[in-house]
Amino acid sequence: QSALTQPASVSGSPGQSITISCTGTSSDIGGYDSVSWYQHHPGKAPKLFIYEVSNRPSGVSTRFSGSKSVNTASLTISGLRAEDESEYYCSSYTRGGTVFGGGTKLTVL
Amino acid sequence: QVQLVQSGAEVRKPGASVKVSCKASGYTFTSYDINWVRQASGQGLEWMGWMNPNSGKTDYAQKFQGRVTNSRNVSINTAYMELSSLTSEDTAVYYCARSVSTDLDYWGQGTLVTVSS
């Protein structure tokens, strides 16, 4: 199970929109609608922000949205806020279990 | 409210084993799978495996096959992850997480396992 590919870092100013990509293969992202996104603040437990490609759990802001095209999933955060600064991880189902991306550090300038 | 409370930090010598517990509350323990995910310092999240607490069925990432064992005690709503033949590369924070399908919706607070001679 090779890790999914995410950019190491992205940045944006308050109020802007950013997109984090997550690239896999037809054996994971491309083969299943089971992509999730997690926000992870250092020292805390990760939190589920998007499930099944584009669904938000109760309590997650509508500023967060997910999508998928072929083998690449994306997380878009609109109206950036300072509190969005964190590490974001994608994951996908694959035969043999679950695979995570390497994580993307979001900096709000 | 759903809670997963993990056991405290552990220190082990290379070659030893460690067993981390994850006590569930606020939901029916046997209705959701429990996954184990770890994060080494400066590294990303790494999925290790899952267990169905109802049936006891398990599945593990290929990397950990033969070295990790997931188990549970249904009477006390607790899941366990045991990792053997530890090396310094196993030094990490280990998380348990409840899953709905493959989505990890609730996580434990994490357990730091340090492997050092």
Reported as a single tens digit per residue, the pLDDT across B43-91 is: 999 999 999 999 999 999 999 999 999 999 999 999 999 999 999 999 9
Task: Name the average pLDDT for chain A.
Answer: 95
Vertex B92 angle, CA B73 and A45, to 5°: 70
Rounded distance between C-alpha atoms, residue B36 and residue B100, angstroms: 14
SS3 B33: strand
Could you give the percent of chain A with pLDDT greater than 90?
Answer: 93
- The minimal CB distance from A97 to the residues B47, B100, B105 is found for B47
Model confidence pLDDT, tens digit, residues A3-16: 899 999 999 999 99
Are residues A34 and B62, on separate chains, in Cβ contact within 8 Å?
no
Model confidence pLDDT, tens digit, residues A88-106: 999 999 987 999 999 999 9
Could you give the percent of chain A with pLDDT greater than 70?
Answer: 99
**DSSP E strand boundaries for chain A:** 9-12, 18-23, 35-40, 47-50, 64-69, 72-77, 86-94, 97-100, 104-108
Residue B36 touches partner A, C-beta closer than 8 Å? no
Residue of B42, B19, B23 lying closest to B108 (CA atoms): B23
Q: φ, ψ for residue B90 (rounded to 5)? A: -90, 0
Task: Name the average pLDDT for chain B.
Answer: 96
Q: Counting Cβ atoms within 10 Å, is residue B103 exposed (0-12), middle (13-18) or buried (19+)? A: buried
Q: Please, which pLDDT band fits residue B102 given cuts at 50, 70 and 90?
A: confident
Which residues, numbered 12 to 31 in chain B, qualify as contacts with chain A under a Cβ-Cβ cut-off of 8 Å?
A: none
Question: Does the structure show a pLDDT above 90 at B101?
Answer: no
Q: CB under 8 Å to B70, separation ≥6 — which residues?
A: B34, B36, B49, B50, B51, B58, B60, B79, B80, B81, B82
Q: pLDDT at position A1, please? A: 59
Residue B101 touches partner A, C-beta closer than 8 Å? yes
